[in-house]
Amino acid sequence: MDINKWMNTKMVEISDKLEKSFEEFHINPEEGLNVTGRNGVYEVLEDILAMLFPGAFSRELIHDDDLKFYINDMMRHIVRKMIGQIRTVIMYHCPKHKDDCCDCDCNKHAEEQTKKIIERLPEIRSILLSDADAAVQGDPACHSKEEAILSYPGLSAVAIYRIAHVYYELEIPIIPRIMAEYAHSRTGIDIHPGAAIGHRFFIDHGTGVVIGETCRIGNNVKIYQGVTLGALSPFDKSGNPRKGQKRHPDIEDDVIIYANSTVLGGKTVIGKGAIIGGNTWITESVPPYAVVSSMNCRPSAIKINTKSKV
């Protein structure tokens, strides 16, 4: 069958099948979810990053004399887009999830949520600068904050996470996950926006890192590529997802977790100053300043490093 005949017959059949499948599920802009797909969210996210670090993420050269105008102009541009996106996801979400509907004027609510996000931007930038400094202090191959901000995928993923986390805290649906998966697709680092991560957080190399929704990470924590901070079991005994439960571990201050280690469970706590060696599987809590490796990961064999200061 030549291509023209195929287009006039088989392609029509395929089109009909696809159209029929939309009856089962379809993201319909007419129902309110119109954020220009994922690309609209990406644009706002990239604009926020460009405003926070013009020298690294902006699309044009910004001189110091123009910085004040640039920030104000970008902020107004971001606010207009952000209000529209938040409004549309709220209008789409509420009719389908009436139990957690804000039950208020959607446009007014979107404006208030936008104000809260914008007001957090100086705090986000301050924390990200501490993350960049942690990269400089934690990696002998990194010589400056500029190098970390411009080139390190770990810092890029953390920057996007810190923005998405504010959306998550404000209970804005859909958008924070789009942001998180954008970072995941670009860096190979998967940080759920619900995770709570302290200051001076450094992911070295980064590819394959997974940090779950209910994970809690303290200050001055360093992790390497391939680390998973996950759920021991995402399902209950009936096979249903454990939604709304603490499923992921807590990592206290000053912890180092080396490459390809896995820490699982909502009751698992890695104590302050502990060092977790590479390729280690952990499903039980580890005491402060312990040194754990794949050779001694049983609790009775764990060494305590009383001199450990990360």
The answer to whether residue 60 sits within a structural domain is yes
The answer to whether residue 301 sits within a structural domain is yes
Do 59 and 131 share a structural domain? Answer: yes
Nearest to 287 by CA among 301, 278, 213: 301
Q: What is the mean pLDDT of residues 147-170?
A: 96
Do 156 and 51 share a structural domain? Answer: yes
Q: In 10 A of CB 285, how many CB atoms?
A: 17
The answer to whether residue 11 sits within a structural domain is no
The answer to whether residue 20 sits within a structural domain is no
Do 270 and 139 share a structural domain? Answer: no
Q: Which of residues 155, 189, 223 is at a domain's end?
A: 189
Q: Which of residues 159, 189, 219 is at a domain's end?
A: 189
Do 132 and 159 share a structural domain? Answer: yes
Q: Which of residues 189, 217, 236 is at a domain's end?
A: 189
Supply the CATH number for residue 131's domain.
1.10.3130.10
pTM of this prediction?
Answer: 0.84
pLDDT at 158 over 60: yes
For the segment 46-98, what is each residue's pLDDT rounded down to a tens digit?
Answer: 999 998 998 888 888 888 888 888 888 989 999 999 999 999 898 886 655 55
Write down the pLDDT at residue 141: 95
Q: What is the mean pLDDT of the chain?
A: 87
Q: What is the mean pLDDT of residues 192-209?
A: 97
Question: What's the pLDDT band for 10 if we cut at 50, 70, 90?
Answer: confident
Q: What is the mean pLDDT of residues 10-15?
A: 77
The answer to whether residue 27 sits within a structural domain is no
The answer to whether residue 9 sits within a structural domain is no
pLDDT at 298 over 80: no
Write down the pLDDT at residue 192: 98
Cβ neighbors of 248 (< 8 A, separation 6 or more) are 195, 211, 212, 213, 214, 215, 216, 229, 230, 231, 264, 265, 266
Supply the CATH number for residue 290's domain.
2.160.10.10
For the segment 104-118, what is each residue's pLDDT rounded down to a tens digit?
Answer: 678 899 999 999 999
The answer to whether residue 67 sits within a structural domain is yes
Strand positions, DSSP E, the chain: 190-191, 196-197, 202-204, 210-211, 216-217, 222-224, 228-230, 250-251, 256-257, 262-264, 269-270, 275-276, 281-282, 290-292, 303-304
Nearest to 142 by CA among 222, 211, 37: 222
Do 177 and 44 share a structural domain? Answer: yes
The answer to whether residue 258 sits within a structural domain is yes
Do 131 and 224 share a structural domain? Answer: no
Write down the pLDDT at residue 183: 97
Nearest to 277 by CA among 293, 290, 256: 293
Do 172 and 246 share a structural domain? Answer: no
| The token pair that represents 266 in the structure block | 């909502």
Do 268 and 177 share a structural domain? Answer: no
pLDDT at 219 over 60: yes
Do 222 and 152 share a structural domain? Answer: no
pLDDT at 245 over 70: yes
Under 8 Å between Cβ of 231 and 266: yes
Do 218 and 181 share a structural domain? Answer: no
pLDDT at 103 over 70: no
Q: Number of folded domains in the chain?
A: 2
HSE-up (13 A, CA, CB side) for residue 109? 17
Question: What's the pLDDT band for 297 if we cut at 50, 70, 90?
Answer: low
Do 305 and 157 share a structural domain? Answer: no
Cα(32)–Cα(61) distance, rounded to whole angstroms?
Answer: 37
Cβ neighbors of 121 (< 8 A, separation 6 or more) are 48, 51, 52
| The token pair that represents 166 in the structure block | 């504010």
Q: What domain range is 310 assigned to?
A: 208-310
